[in-house]
Structure formats: C-alpha cells, structure tokens
Amino acid sequence: MNDLIQEMIDWIEAHLFEDFSLLRLSEKMGYSPYYCSFKFRHYTGVSIKSYRTLRKLYVASLSLVDSQKRILDIAIEHGYSSQEAFARAFKDVFGVTPMTFRKQQKPWQSYIKLTIEQGENMSMLDISQKLVITELQNQLTAFADQDILNVLNGQVMFEQFRTQELMGQSDYVPFNEAMCVHEATADIFSPLFNEVRAEGHHSSLAGYEKVVIQPLQPLFTNSYRCIVLWFGEDMFCQINLLTILSYLEQSGYDGIVYFNAVQEQTYDVQQTEITLGGYTSLYREVVLEKKMPNVPLMPVLYQGISLYLDLHQDENELTRYILSHPKESKEEVMQSMLKLFQRYGLGDRQYLELIEKVRGEV
C-alpha cells in the first residue's frame, strides 16, 4: 500500500500546477476516485485537496523570495486563475499577502513533498554539519561572548551547541518545555506557572523545576546585551518561542533579540531581529484564551498558532487520523504521526497522550 500512496503523491507532484482531476488520478492508479481519496487521507493524514494547496503555496512562496517575477506571473505559473485568488489562498495559509511576504522576508514554515517510507530514521542530524551560522556570527562581532545568551529549543539542540561551541564561548541554555500542551498561567516562570505546568506534565514541582527552570538560570540572573533564540519552524517550537518572547517582555528585557528559525529537514537558518512589544498580550490571547489574534504576525508564527488552535479543537486532522486507525497499537500510530505531521513538531509523549485521550483510555 505504501507504494500506491507514494505513486499517488508522485503523480500529484508532477501535475501540481494543473487543474486537478481526481478521475485522472484514479484512472492512472487503477482504482476508483473514492478509493484513491480515502486511502490517501488514511495513510497521509491529509486530504488530497489540502496537500495540493499547501504544496502549491509553499513552492510559490519560494518563487516570491528567489525571483523578481511579477506576483501575477507567479500566481498563474502555480495554478491560480488570478492574482486575487492567489492572494486569498496565500494569506489564509501564511497570514500575509504575497506582496507583504516578499517585502518583509520573514521566516515561514516549510511544507516539503511527502515520502511514504518504512523505517525512516527520525533522529536529529548532526547540527554542526548542517547549520549555516556565519552570517549571524558576523553580525554579533560587536558583542563579547559574555554579552550573548543562546536559548535553544530543547536539550538535544542545547547539548550540540554547547559541546561544539557553535556560537563560540557565549552562554547556552535549553528551554525544555512543550507549551503547546497542558494549561499555563499569565505570569511566565512564576511559582504558580511552575506548579500548573508540573501538574500538566504529571511531574512533581521539584522534578519540573529541575528539568525546566534550573537550566534557565542564566536567563533569570545574568545580564545580556543580546539574546539569540534558536527554534524550529513547527508548531511545538513556535508556541515555545512565543512563551519566551512574552517572558522577555514581562521581565523588562531591553537588549537585542534575534530569532533564528531552523528548518529541521535541511538545517537552513532564517534569521530575524525581533522587536519586543505585544508578545505578552499575544501569549495570553493564544495560549490562555485559545483565540486567533487579529494582529500582523511573522508567517511562521501565524502558521504555528493556527496549528496550535486546531490542535485544541475536539476534531482536527490529528484526532481524525487516530480514529481512522483503531486497530493499530498506540506505538504504531504514534510512529506514523511523528513522520506524517512534522508541521506540529509533537514528540512521542504528546502523541501518546493524545491517542489515549481520543481512544478514551484516560
């Protein structure tokens, strides 16, 4: 069955910018349109329509950045009947118009071609061989090492940065959290925040503080002129990023903040200087109230927030995938979701909790 799904993906990719015909696809595959549509969603977790939309817009976004073509020409080349239709679809996914996207050059989430393969290695690659950080290092020559703090999303990235001194001898700390799940409080890293987060993670307060709070002590106690935030472009990382930005505002930080968006398939880095202001209210609106904000956002943050709010709906593409695989073990479903839903960035623990919840096992 994997071969059939991959053959469908390959055919869709080959005809990505044409008028799509499910009938043509089904005739090529030798099955009925219903069977092809059902199996595609069953094995990939997304509908053919959603997959085509996300792929078309992502490829179009690359053209907006890498070429000087007119937006109308890019729209037509990527299968849209008009610039207006392209702009509407683009804004729905990225939160900004194609023209704004091209002018601002802010980070955005990738959506690469799906591959259905068994036994694919999901482990993180050696960052030291992949990250391109020379440009950032050049921009930080005005700062001494002791002026810079690098905040890494998680222990694995932290260990590689620290042991290999990828940013010289500046300071490194990990943010070992999963802010996209469980409850939180308005005052980040306060005693009440720690208690609520510990309870959500089914941890003792002492255990939570050992894993999350103690490693962040340099952030709390030292004075830095520059803070560099290294976070992936998936939903998990973006909600963590939002939390740290909100904390920096709450703590009155007045130095320079860089956000380095790490593309985890290629380990390319998109670098953006962040101006603090409004992130505390954004954190409260999104994380505490579960509302979509009506303010301009970086595309990657807009995409992360959109996925986060979908995650907290009773029905979403993750819950539908779980319900459509009732006979598979939790571990089998979790492994498939790790591969198929990389935009979310959830880990095995979060997926297992979600599977148990959907199946009524908690």
| Per-residue confidence (pLDDT) for residue 123, from 0 to 100 | 43
Above 70 in pLDDT, residue 102?
A: yes
**Average pLDDT over all residues of the chain:** 92
Above 60 in pLDDT, residue 122?
A: no
Above 50 in pLDDT, residue 285?
A: yes
CB-based burial, 271-291: b 16+ in 10 Å, e otherwise: ebebebeebbebbbbbbeeee
Q: What are phi and psi of 333, to 5 degrees?
A: -65, -45
Please give the structure tokens belonging to residue 253: 């930080």
| Per-residue confidence (pLDDT) for residue 255, from 0 to 100 | 95
Q: Identify the residue with better confidence: 301 or 133.
A: 301
Q: Identify the residue with better confidence: 146 or 149.
A: 149
pLDDT-derived band of residue 166, with 50, 70 and 90 as boundaries? confident
For domain 2-104, give the fold.
Answer: Arc Repressor Mutant, subunit A (1.10.10)
| Per-residue confidence (pLDDT) for residue 268, from 0 to 100 | 76
Give pLDDT tens digits for 177-234: 999 999 999 999 999 999 999 999 999 999 999 999 999 999 999 999 999 999 999 9
Q: What are phi and psi of 137, to 5 degrees?
A: -60, -40
Q: Above pLDDT 90, what percent of the chain?
A: 83
Give the pLDDT mean for 70-88. Answer: 97
The pTM assigned to this predicted structure is 0.93
Above 70 in pLDDT, residue 9?
A: yes
Above 70 in pLDDT, residue 66?
A: yes
Q: What are phi and psi of 273, to 5 degrees?
A: -85, 130
Q: What are phi and psi of 80, to 5 degrees?
A: -105, 145
Give the pLDDT mean for 339-344. Answer: 94
Crossing angle of helices 22-29/2-14, nearest 10°? 140
165: left (phi over 0), alpha (psi -120 to 50) or beta: left
Residue ranges covered by each domain of the chain: 2-104, 128-309, 313-358
Please state, in angstroms and rounded to a whole number, the distance separating the CA atoms of residues 80 and 99.
16
67, 349 Cβ separation under 8 angstroms: no
Please give the structure tokens belonging to residue 157: 């990235």
First to last CA, the chain: 32
| Per-residue confidence (pLDDT) for residue 127, from 0 to 100 | 55
pLDDT-derived band of residue 124, with 50, 70 and 90 as boundaries? very low
